[in-house]
Amino acid sequence: MSILVVGSVAFDSVETPHGKVDHCLGGAATYFALAASNFTPVRVIGVVGEDFMPRHEKVLTDRGIDTRGIEHAPGLSFHWTGSYVHSLNEAKTLGTDLNVFAAFEPKIPAEYRDSEYLFLANIDPVLQLRVRSEMPRVKLVCGDTMNYWIADHRENLLKVLHVLDVLLINDGEAKMLSGESNLLKAAAKVMELGPKMLVVKHGEYGATAFFCDRSFAGAKSISLPFRAPALPLAEVVDPTGAGDSFAGGFYGYLASQPELTPAVFRTAMFYGGVMGSFAVEQFGTERLQSVTRKEIEERFQLFRGISHLE
């Protein structure tokens, strides 16, 4: 089934201990779409500027991604400059040039209206909410956010949380959003805000899925979460997009399945880790552009092998 993703399509200039790239294709929706497209059809809504060339769009269309919802506006594309020179675990933002993204007004093309899965990547909660309300009949809604929206746009963000099925955030965001330092307590508080499922990403330590008490994925209680591993990697070339790629693997797998069972949610957590582990192997979206379904399946078995007793 088709996923509709709304979010940033951008250019990144990144420095890591492995080198430097200038203006490579990036953005949350880009990483998400590339990762998810291995599992299911993906449609993108975003805005780009005049620096977004046919060769950039080809990166997406080559993987079967529907780009008809990417609006071309006068001016430059969103450009993020960051450094991981001091720590591969946290980006130091050196510059955020919103450019055409500052006036982003998501428009849903008619041919996208039958999408059954909606992914609201990390953008202004006001826009997330608007897109959500325009897609009332989707089967599942999953969203991401970040510390900036949690701290300074909390009221709007809370409205989004009310209409989300799945929220994907990292440890720091879960703690910030809940005011709790204990992961389990933080998860319980976050799910009181609306989401029926919460995925908390722990970087190199994997991710934990929490299910609320209500009937969702057959879960009875948040006291029995699910922990998926991350692959210990000797070389993390560029961590940019790891979280969005996790989301793409997770949500892409879900959308590819005929039924959402507890086993499907667990497997999706593993595919999230798998796609995140590919994303960081090369700069930018390079690795996601070349990865094959066979490699994905092999790595899935590797994830299973490093975490299962037999």
Among 71, 116, 204, 295, binds a copy of itself (CB under 8 A): 204
Residue with tokens 């969005």: 244
Q: Does 224 bind a copy of itself (CB under 8 A)?
A: yes
Q: How far is the CB of 99 from a copy of itself (least distance, A)?
A: 35
The rounded distance, in Å, linking the Cα atoms of 224 and 226 is 7
Among residues 152 and 310, whose Cβ is nearest to a copy of itself? 310
The rounded distance, in Å, linking the Cα atoms of 232 and 248 is 20
Residue with tokens 């809370």: 158
Q: What is the DSSP letter of 240?
A: T
Among residues 61 and 181, whose Cβ is nearest to a copy of itself? 181
Binding string to a copy of itself for residues 285 to 304, with x set by CB under 8 A, is what?
-----------------x-x
Residues that contact a copy of itself, how many (by CB under 8 A):
38
Among 206, 252, 276, 284, binds a copy of itself (CB under 8 A): 206
Q: Does 151 bind a copy of itself (CB under 8 A)?
A: no
Q: What is the DSSP letter of 223?
A: T
SS3 call for 98: coil
Q: Does 263 bind a copy of itself (CB under 8 A)?
A: yes
Among 54, 95, 234, 294, binds a copy of itself (CB under 8 A): 234
The sign one gets for the Cα dihedral 15, 42, 246, 307 is negative
Among residues 130 and 185, whose Cβ is nearest to a copy of itself? 185
Q: Applying CB under 8 A, which part among 91-99, 154-162, 211-219, 261-269 lies near a copy of itself?
A: 261-269
| Residues in CB range of 188: below 8 A, 6 or more apart | 210, 222
Among residues 148 and 205, whose Cβ is nearest to a copy of itself? 205
Q: Does 212 bind a copy of itself (CB under 8 A)?
A: no
Alpha helices (runs of H) in 197-292, residue ranges in sequence order:
242-256, 262-279, 286-290
Q: Decide: 296 and 43 in contact? Cβ < 8 Å.
A: no
For residue 286, how many other CB atoms are within 10 A of its CB? 18
Of the candidates 239, 206, 220, the residue with the CA atom closest to the CA atom of residue 82: 239
Q: Does 308 bind a copy of itself (CB under 8 A)?
A: yes
Q: Which two tokens stand for residue 165?
A: 């099925």
Q: Does 225 bind a copy of itself (CB under 8 A)?
A: yes
Question: Where does this chain bind a copy of itself (CB under 8 A)?
Answer: 88, 181-185, 187-188, 202, 204-206, 208, 223-230, 232-236, 263, 266-267, 270, 302, 304-310
